[in-house]
Amino acid sequence: MLQRKIGGSHWETSAVALGIMRMAALTPTKAAEVLDTAIESKINFIDSADMYGDGKSEEIFGAALKEANIARDQFYIQSKGGIVTGDEKRYDFSKQHLLDSVDGILERMGIDYLDSYLLHRPDPLMEPEEIAEAFDLLQASGKVRHFGVSNFNPEQFQLLQAQVDQKLLINQLQFSIMHTGMIDYGMHTNMTDTRSFDHDGGVLEFSRRKKVTIQAWSPFQYGFFEGVFVDNDKFPELNELLAKLAKKYDTNKNAIATAWILRHPANMQVILGTMNPTRIKESAASSDVVLTKQEWYDVYFAAGNDLP
Ligand SMILES: NC(=O)c1ccc[n+]([C@@H]2O[C@H](COP(=O)([O-])OP(=O)(O)OC[C@H]3O[C@@H](n4cnc5c(N)ncnc54)[C@H](OP(=O)(O)O)[C@@H]3O)[C@@H](O)[C@H]2O)c1
């Protein structure tokens, strides 16, 4: 399994990670099978968020850890917080909310620390000084080791980084063959077509320069959770090429779609969302595939893109 040094630190983890957003739908026994498969596949990084399944994903994860008899330190465990759902709806980075969020996560998962905790989506009412207090308390109490953000643009990132003592190691962002805004606009600089729109303030280049690890979420989805592009008749050209490359590398389409993200020199991590053990193994096989530059571009073209 390819390894990644997270945020330029000495913390090294698997390049392919498993997200548990969809774990709420599983029984603890099925979830235990999923975790066992992750370990067999050399995936040692788990991504969660306090809001997944309204907390149920983390409860099932905690039960599955016990059922599979997996020791806490066999995984690096990350979760996210700052989104309020249910009767109320807002983003909330207030100190008390973040402290409560982490306590809730630890209790549901049945663990006593998180390897990393991310702020899930930028809160326009964020007060960086207050977040800094929360991070200090969480770190000093031993409840959280590392910190990061998710879906932040560079200005939001810098605003926060200027106040917190801890280096923000991670920014989790949507990126896949079918969601390439982070690279499209760079190739269309100073043009007037829609691909020239910079949707994120240059977050890819910023992250590379600052050595922030981008965690690519939803690697097999198109749109905003519109569906899976792998084996989808809506994308015949792309699937034909994925199949051809899968044959060449003696692997499968999910592995090629994952390898396409891993091939980018930003050294991203990929957060898989599948809860199917076979697909977890298949996607982890991406670690053995290094696409050529031309293959990487050909996949980009097959997804409906072109060069200016
Ligand atoms: N930071 C954020 O804002 C954010 C947002 C969303 C997600 N995330 C993180 O990213 C992780 C991954 O997100 P995701 O679940 O949307 O990612 P994904 O891996 O792109 O999608 C997983 C879904 O696609 C299905 N799937 C995958 N390959 C398939 C295939 N070949 N044929 C048919 N179905 C296939 C899976 O079904 P099966 O389970 O049946 O395989 C599952 O329902 C989440 O768990 C979460 O940790 C973060």
The domain locations on the chain are 3-235+258-289
Question: Which mutation among 274, 275, 280 tests ligand 1's pocket best, with the greatest number of atoms within 8 A of CB?
Answer: 274
Q: State residue 25's pLDDT score.
A: 97
Angle subtended by helix axes 253-262 and 236-248, to nearest 10: 90
Name the closest-CA residue to atom 36, ligand 1. 274
42 in contact with ligand 1, CB cutoff 6 A = no
Positions of E strands within the chain: 3-5, 12-14, 16-19, 45-47, 76-81, 83-84, 90-91, 114-119, 144-150, 168-174, 213-217, 221-222, 227-228, 269-272
Residue 270 Cα, ligand 1 centroid: separation in angstroms? Answer: 11
For 110-163, what is each residue's pLDDT tens digit? 999 999 999 999 999 999 999 999 999 999 999 999 999 999 999 999 999 999
38 contacts 13 by C-beta, under 8 angstroms: no
Q: State residue 178's pLDDT score.
A: 98
273 in contact with ligand 1, CB cutoff 6 A = yes
Q: What is the mean pLDDT of the chain?
A: 97
Give residue 215's identity as a one-letter amino acid code: Q
Q: Residue written as tokens 């980084």?
A: 161
Distance from C-alpha of 32 to C-alpha of 37, rounded to nearest angstrom: 8
Name the closest-CA residue to atom 12, ligand 1. 273
Distance from C-alpha of 253 to C-alpha of 244, rounded to nearest angstrom: 9
Q: State residue 253's pLDDT score.
A: 98
Residue 17 Cα, ligand 1 centroid: separation in angstroms? Answer: 12
Per-residue pLDDT of the chain (308 residues), as tens digits, is 999 999 999 999 999 999 999 999 999 999 999 999 999 999 999 999 999 999 999 999 999 999 999 999 999 999 999 999 989 999 999 999 999 999 999 999 999 999 999 999 999 999 999 999 999 999 999 999 999 999 999 999 999 999 999 999 999 999 999 999 999 999 999 999 999 999 999 999 999 999 999 999 999 999 999 999 999 999 999 999 999 999 999 999 999 999 999 999 999 999 999 999 999 999 999 989 999 999 999 999 999 999 99
Q: List, in order, residues 6 or more apart from 270 with CB less than 8 Å away.
A: 15, 16, 17, 215, 216, 219, 258, 261, 262, 283, 286
What's the CATH number for 3-235+258-289?
Answer: 3.20.20.100
Residue 198 Cα, ligand 1 centroid: separation in angstroms? Answer: 25
Q: State residue 173's pLDDT score.
A: 98
Atom from ligand 1 closest to the CA of residue 276? 41
Where does residue 110 fall: left (phi above 0), alpha (psi -120 to 50 degrees), or beta otherwise? left
Distance from C-alpha of 286 to C-alpha of 251, rounded to nearest angstrom: 8
Q: List, in order, residues 6 or more apart from 25 with CB less than 8 Å away.
A: 53, 275
Q: State residue 97's pLDDT score.
A: 98
Q: State residue 80's pLDDT score.
A: 98
Q: Which two tokens stand for residue 19?
A: 């997200």
Residue 181 Cα, ligand 1 centroid: separation in angstroms? Answer: 19
